[in-house]
Structure 1
Amino acid sequence: MKKVTLVILALTAVMQLSAQQQAGRTLSLEEALEMTLSDNPTLQAAEFNRLAAQQERRAAIGLRMPQIGITGSYAYLGKDIEIDLNNMKTPVRDLAGQIFQSGLVPPELIPPLSQLLGGALSANWALPLQDRSLGLVGGDVMIPLWLGGKINAANRAARINEETAVSQAHQQRNALVSELVERYYGLALARQVVLVRQQVVDGVRKHLEDATALEAQGMIARSEKLYVEFKMSEAERDLQNARSQAETIASALGSTLGQAGDYQPVTAMFMLGRIEPLDYYRTLAAERNPLLEQVGQKRRLAYEGVRVQRAAFLPQVVAMGGASFYDYQVSKVLPRWAVGVGVNFKLFDGLNREYKYSAAKQTVRRVEALEAQAGSDIAVLVEKLYNQMDNYRSQMASIEASLAFAEEYLKTKNAAFLEGMSSSSDLIDAELNLAKVKTERIEVAYRYDVLLAQLLEAAGVSDEFTAYMRRQDTRRITFEK
């Protein structure tokens, strides 16, 4: 009796020691959610994406505004720009000769006039208009009056893109809540499995010690001892695997939290007495699921694509104007400002517009088909998750019956041992069987909580997970009770 009591005390001491070794920074689920939603890089990237879409929307507003620019230029021409009248000299000389011969000019005036005419005819008769070196600084303004609806379509598309970025951020947030629940409770479960595996190793080690002593006394065959050694190596291997899995899940939890560290989950798993009917979650998913919102936004974006392609068939009208602020050697003949209206209407472009317009309409039909399929898929997913949760709730009743049996069986074996009617091995096996049933119980609670988080994610209301934890019919599930 003293020997068995020492074994049980040793098992208890090992569990306490393992718990102390595994204990790190205690972390509740609410604290983990706060850390995840504030420090996770995925959410930060989603926020930057939303801000970028917001700026793109503001940029699209500028398409309605006048476009004002300032330009400066300098040019050096190959030659001066001028009007050459030198070819008029011969007709002028002939006309003057005819006038002199007609007698209309007094003889005494002909010599001075001839001398004057000769000097004029020898001069260069080119009239300069623009020096070959010139420069100017000016401004121009263009105001879109009508572009066939392209500007309106671009602004609506920019607003839709911003809404899509918000939906994507919401989707990332919901997915992170589900991921956190899975990894947070997964770490709690993995560490409990390590404790149970440690119990198994200690129990089998006691069996091995007994078997070694019995073999030395010739009371059992060597094969029986070898079998216990095989079970010992198997138990140690399972323990090592459990520890490795716990370390992996701990690293994954640190990644979700955005902060690496040794965390000890302290929020117990739970199960609910009842939840809303299936139709409630179907309706929520149809209204608030971020993926469905994004598909709807893609459909609206496809409609805007059709409007843009249709605008290519319409004329484009713009008002424009320009003025020179400063000029260098620019001819005064040139105007210093100008205003006007421009119209562009394309008559034929090789059917390019027609095919693009048709392609845009086909895109609308494709997105509409995807939207219908996505709605059906989400409804099926909600039903699947809901039914699985109900299945685990039913399993819990069966497991708790097994737990009651395991507890009563342990009491029976303990009483039988005290009366000398049961072996120490039977008592240890009863202890380990009780630990195994307790582990199965919290594993069912773990599966239930993960499914609940996924159901709320599909319904688009992951933020309500902590509210479900606080419901009056919530039942905490721990390893001990």
Structure 2
Amino acid sequence: MLLAACLPGLLSIAAQAQTAETPPPALSFEQAATLQSQASARQRGAAAGVAAAKADRDAVSTLHRPQVSLDVQELRYQKTITVPLNGVKQGVQNNVNSALTQAAGQVRDQYGEAAGSVADQVAAQVSSLLPGIVAPIPDSLSGSFRQNNFRPTVSAVLPIYMGGAISAAQGAAAAKLREATAAEGIATDADRVSLVQAYFGQALAAQVLATRRDTLAGMDRHLRDATLLEAHGVLPRARRLEVQVARDAAERAVLRAEGDYRTAQLSLASQLQSGAVRTATPLFVNQAPVGPEDGFVLASAANPQIRAASGAQDAAGSATKLVRAQYLPKIYAFGTYNLARHDEVPTLPDWAVGVGVHMTLLSGTDRAAEMRAAHAREAQSAAARDQAERDVKLTVERAWTLTDTTRREYLSEASSLTAARENLRTQEAAFREGEGTTASVIDAQNLLGDALVQRAATAYEYDLALIALLTTSGQAERFESLRTRADALDAPTDDDETP
């Protein structure tokens, strides 16, 4: 509905452009391809995807390097310290009793037994007094303090063995880059096919319009001859009316061809994101085959769709390795250094280095199920690649057959076109001599027009089949070289495409 509503306005704009004094600029196919590549949003998006994939690959290329971090903390903390004294009190008593016993023994040895008995009595009295002396001492001492602390620390962790996770992550990023590059190729090929369709579609529409105008001019000449013969009583009025009907039909065909040409101009202008242009490169057909079928089948390994499927398969394989890495231990080296050792918590080290091992024993997810899913995705991507290879091979074979068939059809139509031209010349001459019929001239004129249109359509079909063959086999860049090859035949075209 929206297209139907906008189409009259678009046609009006195109008509105004065509009726302007300055004709639209003429572009060769190569110039149109350059303009399209600059204007294509599809190619810009694909290029952005490649840039993003390259950045992702570069981001994980340094995973083997150590990770160094700086932590700065401002702390306010409280510390409570409790010192038990029960053991100290008992130790004091034991030590004093031991010292008294030792002193009494020394008195006995030096002054005799009598002095020793006195010393034992004194020691016994002192010992009896000790529990009372140490009783005021508490069983424990407790104290707390608060402090502000500034803690800047530098830490480093160096991965030694990550269970294959690093190489898997890097492999996945590289596979994603291959996918993005293939997607860019797919976008470029799609634009090239669309350009061939639009550019040579306009060339075909121009050729059809020129042919229909020539047919109308021929019908006008035939009508003038018929009118003159009717005026001299040689031709019945009914025969002249037959010519008039045929001439009016030819005029309607011209109007239809003009509409088709303007629509083709809109299509090409949309591809180029520009105003209306004229095509400077005519339709073409190569006289010789473009190459053996087997060569195109072998070259199809470079097809972007196959490369994208291959990249997806590699990415799935890397994903499986990442899941497998969850089962394996991780070994790393680490180090830390305090930058403010003068104002640090006493229990924290100034620096520390070491080696650690980490292994997940129990995960929150079912790792066995994750592994089964990874294997299934890997199998799915492998099947998708196999299917892509088969589809591309079949498409190449079909495109090669169509390309060669249309090439031979175009070459065989040359004799038909020559015969149609000679037939028209003969029928017109016979009619002017009064020996031919109006129907014969009308049929000959229409036959020639149809032959010209058919040959141009065959050339257009060849060009479409050729670009399909080249893009499917990953050789889209060969289109221009085949178009300019020595055996390339330009299909008849009209230098003036102004409707």
Query: Partner of 2:448 in structure 1?
Result: 434
Residue 19 of structure 1: how far off its partner (Å): 11
Query: Partner of 1:84 in structure 2?
Result: 82
Residue 194 of structure 1: how far off its partner (Å): 3.0
- The AA in structure 2 aligned to 1:84 is T
Q: TM-score, normalised by structure 1?
A: 0.78
* Map 1:179-194 → 2, pairs under 5 A: 179-194=194-209
Distance 1:314 1:372 in 2: 32
SS at match of 1:346: coil
Residue 160 of structure 1: how far off its partner (Å): 1.8
Residue 369 of structure 1: how far off its partner (Å): 2.1
Change (3 A) 1:447 1:19: farther
Change (3 A) 1:19 1:377: farther
Contact 2:75–2:151, Cα closer than 8 Å, also in 1 = no
Distance 1:171 1:51 in 2: 16
Change (3 A) 1:329 1:67: same
Say which is worse superposed, 185-194 or 320-329, in terms of deviation. Answer: 320-329
Query: Partner of 1:59 in structure 2?
Result: 59
Query: Partner of 2:46 in structure 1?
Result: 46
Query: Partner of 1:7 in structure 2?
Result: none
Query: Partner of 1:408 in structure 2?
Result: 422
Q: Which runs of 5+ in 1 are unaligned?
A: 1-17
Change (3 A) 1:342 1:255: farther
| Rg larger for | 2
Residues 1:386 and 2:400 aligned together: yes
SS at match of 1:460: coil
Residue 397 of structure 1: how far off its partner (Å): 4.2
Contact 1:174–1:463, Cα closer than 8 Å, also in 2 = no
Contact 2:212–2:449, Cα closer than 8 Å, also in 1 = no
Distance 1:266 1:19 in 2: 19
Query: Partner of 1:173 in structure 2?
Result: 188
Say which is worse superposed, 400-409 or 149-158, in terms of deviation. Answer: 400-409
Number of equivalences: 442
Query: Partner of 1:4 in structure 2?
Result: none
Distance 1:94 1:188 in 2: 114
Q: Which runs of 5+ in 2 are unaligned?
A: 1-17, 98-120
Distance 1:55 1:351 in 2: 30
Residue 377 of structure 1: how far off its partner (Å): 1.3
Residues 1:336 and 2:350 aligned together: yes
Distance 1:241 1:416 in 2: 31
Say which is worse superposed, 45-54 or 316-325, in terms of deviation. Answer: 316-325
Query: Partner of 2:149 in structure 1?
Result: 134
- The AA in structure 1 aligned to 2:481 is A
Query: Partner of 2:375 in structure 1?
Result: 361
Residue 166 of structure 1: how far off its partner (Å): 1.9
Distance 1:19 1:361 in 2: 64
Contact 2:219–2:243, Cα closer than 8 Å, also in 1 = no
Distance 1:383 1:390 in 2: 11
SS at match of 2:62: helix
Percent identity for Structure 1 against Structure 2: 25
Residues 1:158 and 2:173 aligned together: yes
Say which is worse superposed, 20-29 or 182-191, in terms of deviation. Answer: 20-29
Residue 381 of structure 1: how far off its partner (Å): 0.7
Residue 49 of structure 1: how far off its partner (Å): 1.3
Distance 1:417 1:394 in 2: 35
Change (3 A) 1:203 1:22: farther
Contact 2:204–2:283, Cα closer than 8 Å, also in 1 = no
Distance 1:62 1:90 in 2: 59
Distance 1:454 1:22 in 2: 36
SS at match of 1:83: strand
Distance 1:19 1:429 in 2: 33
Residues 1:296 and 2:296 aligned together: no
SS at match of 2:478: helix
RMSD: 4.2
Residues 1:145 and 2:160 aligned together: yes
Residues 1:71 and 2:86 aligned together: no
Query: Partner of 2:286 in structure 1?
Result: 272
Say which is worse superposed, 273-282 or 164-173, in terms of deviation. Answer: 164-173
Contact 2:313–2:381, Cα closer than 8 Å, also in 1 = yes
